[in-house]
């Protein structure tokens, strides 16, 4: 059955009841988040994009018109819509339109290509795909043609910009109507997981759980009407979306400023012009900004709170960022699957610099386990497992994988290695999941290895995380060969031709004669990482 509920793993009734009784789940839906602000504060500025500004009343009305237009096209409650747009007001209008219709956006990143997009369409049975015309030199209409040719379920392609043979997103409008609210316990959006397997996974977030995620995040960041929140990370990533993100800023009648380009040269003048006070960054970007802040002489005095997350912010880097900007630094250790950890605004500098925060909700249950599944004492490293009122109980339409990714009693195995301290703060110490975290961008090793192994000269491939001073980690591909050794540019071209997102391509190739193996005969990636360090040291 083609339904948003098919393949969604709900919380057990007992837990759902508990979360409702405790007031975490309030039956609120995402499409209503703008209603009260639009009624009470309609003239306030909701959005700024370049020279354009939207008041709350304008944004609310635009969302209603877009929802009506989408309904006229035939989109209905429960339909999945694959959304791949850059940071833009159109993205935000579309989100509210879909939420109001009860249609379910599936969020792709602008860098995704045929491999990811075709798979996400098929997995989610999307009926509609929304793209920019050309973004960063890439024609998404061409991608849409390829995807539509291979997937018959796609009824509509909507294009932001020049639509070619498709429909223009901006023209999808009709006289506003009212729709019954969707069921708050049902999926409101589908987020992409960082991934650890050969195929990307989707995370269904419900209205109830995501509204709580936003509300609790707003509280721990102290956002209010005075807030001007800058979006520089991808607008569809969980961090910038709802932690508290632009949804959180709008929920408290703040102002959201959208930046398409995170470079200091473009963003600093925008911060000064709009008096931005809050922003979410990944560590490499925070450090890039810190380096540029001294030199540029731009007025960054409006900044009140810088959130850093997505990858570990090393202790010296934390001190540097806090020192340069002279505002509050907040570490955020989050995941699209749910659990969020934040340091508090009132935490002393040493605490903020030395940990990744504490769980957001009193109802977050956290376990730190040894490889045998036994709890480790506080202060010792183990795998983090969690369940709670905004953490998924299963990936969407992935029953096999769920058997491994969750315990029988519903705890999500994060794959992250942490140390829990007596004060309940967590320190991220590494991971056991087979993933590369390249400056906050997640790369599933198995996915890339599968593509590499399809190259005619490659016998077997292993993608390994290698420490990097700027990005935290880079991806090295180790290969055994059955033909002449390929060079990196050729491999990158090969992966691009297979439709893989560019950010997943390895930074470096290394050929080995044979694999180091573990006791159980698997490729020993730790050994390969050590070899990588040796080889890079030798070249220096
Ligand atoms: C170390 N590792 C971290 C941190 C995430 C807020 C912030 C980040 C994300 C995110 C998010 C880390 N230190 N501070 O969704 O709402 C790694 C962990 C984690 C994985 C999740 C949010 N912050 N990580 O990064 O779904 O390995 O979400 O399990 O992209 O990033 O990745 P993702």
What share of the chain has pLDDT > 90, as a percent? 96
Over residues 421-449, the pLDDT tens digits come to 999 999 999 999 999 999 999 999 999 99
CA distance 75 to 110: 23
What's the CA-to-centroid distance between 337 and ligand 1, angstroms? 10
* Reported confidence tier of residue 4, pLDDT bands at 50, 70, 90: confident
For the complex shown, is ipTM > 0.85?
yes
Pocket test for ligand 1, best of 241, 279, 333 (most atoms within 8 A of CB): 333
Over residues 136-171, the pLDDT tens digits come to 999 999 999 999 999 999 999 999 999 999 999 999
Specify the residue with its C-alpha closest to ligand 1, atom 3: 311
The CATH architecture annotation of domain 228-429 reads: 3-Layer(aba) Sandwich (3.40)
Q: Residue 538 above 90 pLDDT?
A: no
Contact call for residues 154 and 128 (beta carbons, < 8 A): yes
Report the nearest atom of ligand 1 relative to the CA of 428: 1
Specify the residue with its C-alpha closest to ligand 1, atom 14: 333
* Reported confidence tier of residue 494, pLDDT bands at 50, 70, 90: very high
Q: Tell me which residues have their CB closer than 6 angstroms to ligand 1.
A: 194, 238-239, 243, 309-312, 331-336, 340, 356, 414, 416, 428, 431, 437, 442
Report the nearest atom of ligand 1 relative to the CA of 441: 30
* Reported confidence tier of residue 49, pLDDT bands at 50, 70, 90: very high
What is residue 298's predicted lDDT score, i.e. its pLDDT?
A: 85
What is residue 537's predicted lDDT score, i.e. its pLDDT?
A: 83
**C-alpha distances in angstroms, 381 versus 362, 426, 432?**
22, 10, 12
Average pLDDT, the chain: 96
What's the CA-to-centroid distance between 506 and ligand 1, angstroms? 21
Q: Residue 274 above 90 pLDDT?
A: yes
CA distance 82 to 147: 12
What's the CA-to-centroid distance between 54 and ligand 1, angstroms? 31
* Reported confidence tier of residue 297, pLDDT bands at 50, 70, 90: confident
Query: Rg of the chain's alpha carbons, rounded to an integer?
Result: 23
* Reported confidence tier of residue 51, pLDDT bands at 50, 70, 90: very high
Fold equal for 31-182 and 228-429: yes
Mean pLDDT of 69-81: 97
What share of the chain has pLDDT > 70, as a percent? 99
What's the CA-to-centroid distance between 540 and ligand 1, angstroms? 32
Instruction: Answer positive or negative: Cα dihedral of 160, 165, 166, 171.
Output: positive
Q: Residue 1 above 50 pLDDT?
A: no
Pocket test for ligand 1, best of 309, 432, 437, 503 (most atoms within 8 A of CB): 309
What's the CA-to-centroid distance between 174 and ligand 1, angstroms? 39
CA distance 22 to 476: 47
Domain ranges of the chain: 31-182, 228-429, 443-539
Topology of domain 443-539 in CATH is GMP Synthetase; Chain A, domain 3 (3.30.300)
Instruction: Answer positive or negative: Cα dihedral of 138, 142, 148, 151.
Output: negative
What's the CA-to-centroid distance between 485 and ligand 1, angstroms? 36
Specify the residue with its C-alpha closest to ligand 1, atom 33: 335
What's the CA-to-centroid distance between 333 and ligand 1, angstroms? 5
The distance in angstroms from the start CA to the end CA of the chain is 58
* Reported confidence tier of residue 296, pLDDT bands at 50, 70, 90: low
DSSP state, residue 373: S
CA angle 357, 359, 361 (to 5 degrees): 140
Q: Residue 2 above 70 pLDDT?
A: no
Specify the residue with its C-alpha closest to ligand 1, atom 25: 310
Mean pLDDT of 252-256: 98
**C-alpha distances in angstroms, 187 versus 8, 78, 190, 237, 405?**
8, 8, 7, 17, 20
Per DSSP (E only), the strands in 397-453 are 412-420, 426-431, 435-438, 441-444
Look at 97 and 538; give whichever has higher pLDDT: 97
Mean pLDDT of 446-467: 97
Mean pLDDT of 51-70: 98
Report the nearest atom of ligand 1 relative to the CA of 414: 29
Pocket test for ligand 1, best of 284, 334, 391, 440 (most atoms within 8 A of CB): 334
Contact call for residues 169 and 159 (beta carbons, < 8 A): yes
Pocket test for ligand 1, best of 205, 220, 310 (most atoms within 8 A of CB): 310
CB-facing half-sphere around the CA of 319: CA atoms within 13 A: 4
CA distance 95 to 31: 8
What's the CATH class of domain 31-182?
alpha beta
Range in 89-98, 195-204, 391-400 with the lowest mean pLDDT:
195-204
DSSP state, residue 523: B
Report the nearest atom of ligand 1 relative to the CA of 331: 14
What is residue 3's predicted lDDT score, i.e. its pLDDT?
A: 82
- pTM of the predicted protein model: 0.97
Specify the residue with its C-alpha closest to ligand 1, atom 2: 311
Mean pLDDT of 526-539: 90
What's the CA-to-centroid distance between 60 and ligand 1, angstroms? 31
């Amino acid at each position: 059955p083609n339904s948003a509920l098919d393949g969604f793993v709900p919380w057990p009734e007992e837990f759902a009841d508990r979360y409702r009784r405790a007031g975490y789940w309030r039956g609120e839906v995402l499409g209503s988040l703008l209603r009260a602000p639009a009624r009470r504060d309609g003239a306030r500025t909701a959005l700024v994009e370049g020279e354009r500004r939207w008041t709350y009343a304008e944004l609310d009305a635009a969302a209603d018109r877009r929802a009506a237009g989408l309904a006229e096209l035939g989109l209905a409650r429960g339909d999945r819509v694959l959304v791949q747009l850059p940071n833009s007001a159109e993205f935000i209008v579309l989100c509210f339109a879909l939420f109001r219709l009860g249609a379910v956006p599936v969020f792709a990143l602008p860098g995704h290509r045929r491999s990811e997009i075709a798979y996400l369409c098929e997995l989610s049975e999307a009926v509609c795909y929304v793209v920019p015309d050309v973004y960063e030199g890439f024609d998404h209409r061409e991608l849409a043609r390829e995807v539509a040719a291979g997937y018959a379920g796609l009824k509509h392609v909507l294009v932001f910009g020049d639509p070619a043979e498709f429909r223009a997103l901006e023209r999808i409008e009709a006289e506003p109507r009212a729709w019954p609210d969707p069921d708050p316990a049902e999926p409101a959006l589908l987020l992409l997981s960082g991934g650890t397997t050969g195929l990307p996974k989707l995370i269904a977030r419900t209205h109830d759980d995501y509204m709580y995620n936003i509300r609790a995040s707003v509280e721990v960041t102290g956002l209010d009407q005075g807030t001007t929140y800058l979006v520089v990370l991808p607008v569809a990533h969980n961090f910038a979306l709802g932690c508290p993100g632009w949804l959180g800023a709008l929920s408290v009648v703040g102002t959201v400023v959208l930046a398409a380009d995170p470079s200091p040269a473009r963003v600093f003048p925008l911060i000064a012009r709009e008096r931005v006070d809050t922003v979410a960054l990944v560590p490499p970007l925070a450090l890039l900004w810190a380096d540029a802040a001294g030199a540029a002489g731009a007025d960054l005095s409006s900044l009140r709170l810088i959130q850093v997350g997505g990858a570990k912010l090393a202790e010296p880097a934390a001190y540097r960022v806090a020192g340069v900007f002279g505002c509050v630094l907040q570490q955020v250790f989050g995941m699209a699957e749910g659990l969020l950890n934040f340091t508090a605004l009132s935490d002393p500098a040493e605490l903020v610099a030395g940990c990744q925060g504490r769980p957001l909700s009193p109802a977050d249950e956290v376990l730190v386990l040894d490889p045998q599944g036994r709890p480790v004492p506080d202060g010792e490293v183990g795998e983090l497992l969690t369940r709670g009122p905004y953490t998924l109980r299963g990936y969407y339409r992935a029953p096999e994988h769920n058997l491994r990714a969750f315990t029988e009693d519903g705890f999500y195995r994060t794959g992250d290695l942490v140390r829990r301290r007596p004060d309940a703060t967590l320190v991220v110490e590494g991971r056991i999941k087979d993933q590369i975290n390249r400056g906050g961008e997640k790369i599933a090793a198995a996915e890339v290895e599968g593509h590499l192994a399809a190259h005619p000269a490659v016998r077997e491939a292993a993608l390994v995380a290698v420490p990097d001073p700027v990005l935290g980690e880079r991806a090295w591909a180790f290969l055994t060969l059955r033909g002449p050794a390929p060079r990196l540019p050729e491999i990158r071209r090969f992966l691009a031709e297979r439709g893989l997102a560019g950010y997943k391509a390895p930074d470096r190739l290394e050929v080995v004669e044979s694999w180091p193996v573990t006791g159980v005969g698997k490729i020993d990636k730790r050994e390969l990482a050590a070899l990588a360090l040796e080889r890079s040291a030798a070249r220096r």
